[in-house]
């Protein structure tokens, strides 16, 4: 087994998953970057996702956690009988500065032009949904060590996990962006249509999917 990083997570997370065909294109980009990683610093592959919520304790009672996640999603999107999706704009990939954000598509925040759009924008709906679920699931979070402050939420879609030095990652990122732009495959938006409850314990290839829901909280096939 390849070892990628010493600081493994031991938490449940909620991931927003892209719809087809964006899912397949992003998966291809993730595998491409992992395949090109040097042997002395390998990169794992993983499913494309935007982390919606993280830090839920593995000691949480599973049946209760699953029920609360379902109800939280239903409250967020509502039970309208219509297939709900969340369309998110993407900025060009950057190096995010850590192992799990080595190369990412940042989610584009609301711009001033969005003020003329009636109703909540997709970005603000993402943030509102996360805040609502975070409040609902508060009792399931692992306690932080004393004096540790939670990191601000930075929504992004990861393309590569890597421990390479920043200068090498910067070069890889620039070459990736140019190559995908030349092929017409650099993504500018992504449509999310599912939410996965993930058990993230150990190395990346050991992470497992507990359940997958549509964005109205109904269980769908894994």
For residues 5 and 85, the model is more confident at: 85
* Paired strand residues for 14: 53, 197
pTM: 0.90
Dist CA 145 CA 168 (whole Å): 33
Dist CA 107 CA 125 (whole Å): 13
pLDDT of 4: 47
Question: Mean per-residue pLDDT for 114-138?
Answer: 82
Question: Mean per-residue pLDDT for 127-139?
Answer: 94
pLDDT of 6: 46
Contact 174, 93 (CB under 8 A): no
* Paired strand residues for 214: 194
- The residue written with tokens 């990191």 in the block is 151
CA distances from 73 to 119, 134, 163 (A): 19, 11, 34
On the question of pLDDT at 73 being above 80, the answer is yes
Dist CA 14 CA 171 (whole Å): 31
pLDDT of 142: 83
For residues 162 and 222, the model is more confident at: 162
Question: Mean per-residue pLDDT for 192-215?
Answer: 94
pLDDT of 55: 92
Residue 37 confidence class, pLDDT cut points 50, 70, 90: very high
- 83: burial class by Cβ within 10 Å (0-12, 13-18, 19+)? exposed
Residues 6+ apart with CB under 8 A from 217: 69, 70, 71, 72, 73, 74, 77
Average pLDDT, the chain: 89
On the question of pLDDT at 112 being above 90, the answer is no
pLDDT of 150: 76
Does residue 50 sit in helix, strand or coil? strand
pLDDT of 221: 80
pLDDT of 114: 55
Beta pairing class for 189-201 and 86-89: antiparallel
Question: Over the stretch 147-198, which tens digit does the pLDDT of each residue have?
Answer: 777 788 999 999 999 999 999 999 999 999 999 999 999 999 999 999 999 9
Q: Which fold has domain 10-220?
A: Cyclic Phosphodiesterase; Chain: A, (3.90.1140)
Where do the structural domains in the chain lie, given as residue ranges?
Answer: 10-220
């Amino acid at each position: 087994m390849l070892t990628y990083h010493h600081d493994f997570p031991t938490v449940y997370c909620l991931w927003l998953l892209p719809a087809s065909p964006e899912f397949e294109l992003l998966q291809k980009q993730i595998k491409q970057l992992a395949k090109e990683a040097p042997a002395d610093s390998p990169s794992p592959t993983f499913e494309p996702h935007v982390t919606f919520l993280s830090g839920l304790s593995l000691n949480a009672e599973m049946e209760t956690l699953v029920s609360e996640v379902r109800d939280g999603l239903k409250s967020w999107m509502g039970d309208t009988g219509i297939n709900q999706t969340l369309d998110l704009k993407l900025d060009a990939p950057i190096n995010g500065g850590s192992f799990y954000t080595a190369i990412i598509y940042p989610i584009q925040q609301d711009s001033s032009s969005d003020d003329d759009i009636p109703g909540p924008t997709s970005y603000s709906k993402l943030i509102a949904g996360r805040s609502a679920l975070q409040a609902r699931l508060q009792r399931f979070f692992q306690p932080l060590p004393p004096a540790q402050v939670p990191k601000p939420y930075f929504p992004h879609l990861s393309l590569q996990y890597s421990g390479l030095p920043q200068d090498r990652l910067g070069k890889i990122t620039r070459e990736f962006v140019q190559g995908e732009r030349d092929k017409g495959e650099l993504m500018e938006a992504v449509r999310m249509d599912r939410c996965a409850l993930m058990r993230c314990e150990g190395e990346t290839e050991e992470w497992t999917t507990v359940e997958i829901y549509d964005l109205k909280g109904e269980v769908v096939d894994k």
